[in-house]
Structure 1
């Protein structure tokens, strides 16, 4: 495969457990560009894990830091960035990311997401506001979050049906789709 030159950064969006970090790392390696995980950046800046931020400072504080870092970094970043599942908080953020880079949605069915994140203690959104254990186990919390976030995710320039597909296959589909746009040049 010919190598391609990335002119604009790539922002991977989708639900928790959709594979954004795994696919993002492989995509960055394939394109020979830097990789950044927004959640890791938040942890580094806050000096706390994501569950600790939620517990000690609340979701509002987490979202404010997430928004601040995303808006700032997206203007200068050159590579592939995986976003948190709730990073697309509003229309302003979606529009901002699409101005500065390619927004790509990894679309994964809620049943696959539920299987991947079930019992993961590092997923505070599955705990936040949920008083019933059955709510988490049934996947209905994930379904509600997905329903709320889909209108923003679906505004991505590119959607890849990721499901249970191998990360390498998803990466090659992303590259194939991006080569149809002017944002890629052959090297």
Structure 2
């Protein structure tokens, strides 16, 4: 017996699609592939922040602190939310900011890429550029972040698991969840 696809969690109407979730959830990697499938531009908010500041995120954290970075992040995401159809990958903390979250929830379709702590730890260990993990146990940091952030991510219009599967499986799950 063929299984029918799940009904959409939210129907996409052409507004920006904003990927949210913890570091390592696959927002940038999956976002690029999703944008290709939808024939939309892809924007990585972290890259835009670095370009606007003229320094890396790690340098911003080291020189000016997390709050400086978060202020820039909020401004850049507000600029990106211009109504034009696109896929935007945000940093893990962007959706925590109440102003940014409200803007995304009203002006875009928020998609939460939800991954287990084990999957996230495996992914973040492959890259050492994450300021919140420097000198710390990634599993402990991710558990603490999940405790605070997951209830906020749960406000997203769509929730899609980000498991250890090919990226195209996650992209297909997003497309199905948004009715595409």
Query: Common fold, TM-score beyond 0.5?
Result: yes
Matched, 1:167 2:164: no
Shift of 1:118: 2.0
* Deviation string, structure 1 residues 86-134 (Cα, Å, up to 9, x no partner): 111233322210111100000000111111112633100113xxxxx5x
Unaligned residue ranges in structure 1 (runs of 5+): 128-132
Matching residue of 1:136: 137
Task: Quote the Cα distance in structure 1 between the aligned partners of 2:131 and 2:33.
Answer: 26
Displacement after TM superposition at 1:34 (Å): 0.2
TM-score of the two chains, using structure 2 as the length reference: 0.88
Give the structure 2 partner of residue 81 of structure 1: 88
The CA distance in 2 between the partners of 1:174 and 1:89, in whole Å, is 22
Distance (whole Å) between structure 2 residues aligned to residue 122 and residue 39 of structure 1: 12
Q: Distance in 1 between matches of 2:14 and 2:20?
A: 19
What is the CA deviation profile of residues 7-60 of structure 1, one whole-angstrom value per residue up to 9, with x for unaligned ones? 111000011111111110000000001000000001111111111110011101
- Partner Cα distance (1:174, 1:155) in 2: 16
Alpha-carbon distance in 1 for matches of 2:173, 2:141: 30
**CA–CA distance in structure 2, aligned partners of residues 120 and 177 of structure 1:** 29
Alignment match, 2:37:
30
Select the residue among 93, 105, 116 that pairs with 2:112: 105
Whether 1:95 aligns to 2:102 is yes
- Which residue is 2:62 aligned to? 55
1:147: Cα distance to partner? 1.1
Backbone CA RMSD of aligned residues: 1.6
Conserved 8 A contact 1:14-1:20: yes
Distance in 1, Cα, partners of 2:88 & 2:37: 14
Give unmatched runs, 5+ long, in structure 2.
Answer: 1-11
Residue matched to 2:150: 150
Q: How many equivalent pairs are there?
A: 169
